Structure 1
Amino acid sequence: MTSTLADRIDDLLPQTQCEQCGFHGCRPYADAIAAGDAEINRCPPGGAVGIERLAALLNRPAIPLDTTRGIEKPRTLARIVEADCIGCTKCIQACPVDAILGAAKLMHTVVSDLCTGCELCVPACPVDCIVLDPMPPAQANDRAHADAARRHFRRREERLAVERAARERQLAASKREVGAPAARHAVLEALARAKAKKDSP
């Protein structure tokens, strides 16, 4: 299969799906770079090394990280302090790669092998029970881990799209059910008015 420029750019990104670049995931950022709509220095998790790799691929000078997007720092893994978890599911909803398991009003836990260190779960937690531990260097630099994160992100996006479509269909059906009696009533009223007009002298 022939890879596009956006594919090759995406392969160099860390696949944290953290959105610090301003895009909803690494692939949209790769698409924007390929189209010339975004600079190569908007990925704090990729850092200086990531910028250098992108610059080499695109045959352009490396530029400093845009620190308005965040600062370069060691990658981390989220961990839930389970004794403090209230089971609100907000972290599950925020996780872009489905790395958090749990259910409403039950304790949650992070599957560390799936976690990308995006940190999106931290501000989502209303009781501050999520801490960040250092990510093992082998995991941080593992392309297989990045590729798996890309797959998990895409699978989640596809699932959410299916769920949104199902909700929209259900809402449309509910509106039709509510609107049907009103429509029938309007038709009957119109017929009654027409009959009254016809019968009037």
Structure 2
Amino acid sequence: MTRQAAAASLAALIDAALPQTQCRRCGYPDCAAYAQAVAQDEAAINRCPPGGAQGVARLAALTGREPIPLDPECGAEGPLSLAVIDEAWCIGCTLCIKACPTDAILGLNKRMHTVIAAHCTGCELCVPVCPVDCILMENASGQRTGWQAWSPQQAMQARQRYAARTLRLGQQPSPAAEDGPQQDGPAPSLPDKRAAVAAALAAARARRA
């Protein structure tokens, strides 16, 4: 195996060990890009706050490096938080929809928006782009933080949704994302998607009522 191939293989393993929140707190555009940088020894293993201390330990085991504390410049380990939109203040600008890496926000131009909680990774990328400051982050995992607040299944779903959004926008995924493992089983059917959308809308209407 060539050095380049070995780095690509390691990058795929590292990417699979990340929580896939796509939050960019590490300083890279997505989890796959960060994984590639770590594999090429261009980035430290302590730049992923969503993964927490356990995430650092995972990357240390994969790379053979010593575990180190999280880099405070990237943020602190914390619980899983989910975005919640105050529909009473939402102006339907769609900026949050454009910022969401997993297409977890549902809405139309000049119409109420709502967040599909099951698809939200807590990346917080929607918060700074909101011009009326109507998006709050709510604790969804209590005292559980890092990988204790996030499951491999959630990470896989987030990765797949991010990849689907990237393709929809005509962008190229990072190499590690292309080489990574894929989840077995069929993709969600159209009825399933419609049911998720209907449930999100019903929840939004209930909150407004």
For the criterion TM > 0.5, the same-fold answer is yes
Q: Is residue 2:118 matched to residue 1:113?
A: yes
- Could you tell me which residue of structure 2 aligns to residue 78 of structure 1? 83
Unmatched tracts of structure 2, length 5 or more = 1-7, 172-209
What is the letter of the counterpart of residue 36 of structure 1?
D
2:149 to 124, 140, 146: 140
**Contact 2:80-2:150 at 8 Å conserved across structures:** no
- Could you tell me which residue of structure 2 aligns to residue 177 of structure 1? none
- Could you tell me which residue of structure 1 aligns to residue 181 of structure 2? none
- Could you tell me which residue of structure 1 aligns to residue 109 of structure 2? 104
Distance 2:139 2:9 in 1: 34
Distance 2:161 2:140 in 1: 19
Question: By how many angstroms is 1:139 displaced?
Answer: 8.9
Task: Name which of structure 1's ranges 96-105 and 153-162 shifts more when overlaid on structure 2.
Answer: 153-162
For normalisation by structure 1, the TM-score amounts to: 0.76
Distance 2:60 2:113 in 1: 40
Higher percent of residues as helix = 1
For normalisation by structure 2, the TM-score amounts to: 0.73
Distance 1:23 1:47 in 2: 17
Question: By how many angstroms is 1:140 displaced?
Answer: 3.2
- Could you tell me which residue of structure 2 aligns to residue 36 of structure 1? 41
- Could you tell me which residue of structure 2 aligns to residue 155 of structure 1? 164
> Would you say how many aligned residue pairs link Structure 1 and Structure 2?
160
Classify the secondary structure of the residue corresponding to 1:83. Answer: coil
Unmatched tracts of structure 1, length 5 or more = 163-201
Distance 1:139 1:104 in 2: 37
Residue-by-residue CA offset, 1:53-105 (whole Å, 9 max, x unaligned):
11112222101111111122212000111111110101001101100000100
Task: Name which of structure 1's ranges 34-43 and 3-12 shifts more when overlaid on structure 2.
Answer: 3-12
Question: By how many angstroms is 1:45 displaced?
Answer: 1.0
**Contact 1:44-1:71 at 8 Å conserved across structures:** yes
Over the aligned positions, Cα root-mean-square deviation in angstroms equals 1.7
State how 1:153-192 maps to structure 2 within 5 Å.
153-161=162-170
What is the letter of the counterpart of residue 11 of structure 2?
A
State the structure with bigger RCO (CA 8 A, min sep 6), 1 or 2. Answer: 2
- Could you tell me which residue of structure 2 aligns to residue 53 of structure 1? 58
2:32 to 27, 32, 53: 27
Identity of aligned residues (%): 56
Distance 1:100 1:130 in 2: 11
**Contact 2:20-2:156 at 8 Å conserved across structures:** yes
Distance 1:34 1:59 in 2: 11
Classify the secondary structure of the residue corresponding to 1:113. Answer: helix
- Could you tell me which residue of structure 2 aligns to residue 124 of structure 1? 129
